[in-house]
Amino acid sequence: MKSAVTTVLSVADAAGRFPSMSDIEAVKGSLDRAAARMEAAEKLAAGIDKVTVDAVDAVYGKGSYEQANKDKCARDIHHYLRLINYCLVTGGTGPLDEWGIAGMREVIRVQVLPTAAYIEAFTHIRDRVCVPRDMSQQAATEFKGLLDYLINALA
Amino acid sequence: MLDAFSRAVVSADAKGAPIGTEDLAALRKYVDDANKRIDATLAITQNVSCIAADAVAGMVCENSGMTQPGGNCYPTRRMAACLRDGEIILRYVSYALLAGDASVLDDRCLNGLKETYLALGVPLANAIRAVEIMKIATVAIMTETNTGRKMFEGINSGSGSQCKEIASEAASYFDRVISALS
């Protein structure tokens, strides 16, 4: 899976060489931001249920909808947030790409799901992130970057 | 191929749970010790030919028939193949060490290695001995218990004695090679 170290190692292995200075610099570079990413991952993991409920409420508003639909919506948002948590840990978009976005369009089309609702939910989550109440500035930047990545993939 | 981070992700995904504080502790340690890990990787990459040549030479010394006609390291073409394999194993060990996970070593080097050696008539006991010597040499360089040049004097990771933990991780990857060939 694409991650901080594996992308570098794949290239080195394809060339049949030992990890070079530039490979090691690349690994170091992604580890420099790891502290912020892990903070974001930790905070997201701790509040994932609350964030999900908050986003679902924002999407459905005060209208009356079937609870079953809301539950499914919550399940999906929770799923994507979990993948974002994984991406924050790996330092790459591998988990989202492989488990979230690959085949997503097909599934959404077949099930006639409104992508606009998901976009609304993730935009809401992105805009609600508050510094420093929720996480530090750098952590929030990493988190929002991944939310934007997902929103772009859904749009 | 996985590294310490994607390994955590794969095991968390199997549970369907996000990665929380508990699992992050090990990864934070990886990040904190990154300099040691990098220096330990460099300890391998900067001494590759030395480690591989010593190991093969040691193996031959212990079994002097190997370089005689009919031996497995005769003629030089086969001895050269042996040196090359030593370097390949060191390369994958260095990948595994940098990644903090053995999957790259398992998938790309050890999978089918024993069968290949058996088919080529490589004596496994001698190959294992060479890997053992490489392990001893690598650990000695990382912990600065080797004779001759000390690697870590003045380098950011501190002295070799502080690299014991990472050296034992490196040793575990060599042990993986040995058990794959056994």
Instruction: Say what the ipTM of the complex is.
Output: 0.87
Residue A133: phi, psi to the nearest 5?
-60, -45
Q: Would you call B5 an interface residue with chain A, using a CB distance cutoff of 8 Å?
A: yes
Is residue B123 a contact partner of residue B147, using CB atoms and an 8 Å limit?
A: no
Q: Give pLDDT tens digits for A38-93.
A: 999 999 999 999 999 999 999 988 777 888 888 988 999 999 999 999 999 998 88
Residue A128 near chain B (CB below 8 Å): no
Encode pLDDT of B129-167 as tens digits. 999 999 999 999 998 888 877 877 755 555 677 888 999
**Third-level CATH fold of B34-181:** Globin-like (1.10.490)
Task: Return the domain boundaries, chain B.
Answer: 34-181
The pLDDT score that the predictor gives to residue B182 is 95
Residues sharing a CB contact under 8 Å with residue B116, sequence separation 6 or more, in sequence order = none
Task: Return the residue of A nearest to B91 by Cα.
Answer: A18
Q: Judge whether B14 is closer than 8 Å to chain A, CB to CB.
A: no
- pLDDT for residue A155 is more than 60: yes
Does the distance separating the beta carbons of B41 and A91 come in below 8 Å? Answer: no
A82 min Cα distance to partner chain B (Å)? 5
CATH number for A34-154 (one of 1.10.238.10, 3.90.1170.50, 1.10.150.120, 1.10.490.20): it is 1.10.490.20
Cα atoms in the Cβ-side hemisphere of radius 13 Å centred on B78 = 17
Report the pLDDT value the prediction gives residue A18, as an integer from 0 to 100: 95
Q: Comparing C-alpha atoms, which of A101, A98, A52 is closest to residue A76?
A: A52
Q: What is the residue extent of each domain of chain A?
A: 1-32, 34-154
- Chain B residues whose CB is inside 8 A of the A1 CB are 1-2, 6, 9-10
3-state class percentages of chain A: helix first, strand second, coil last, to nearest 5 = 75, 0, 25
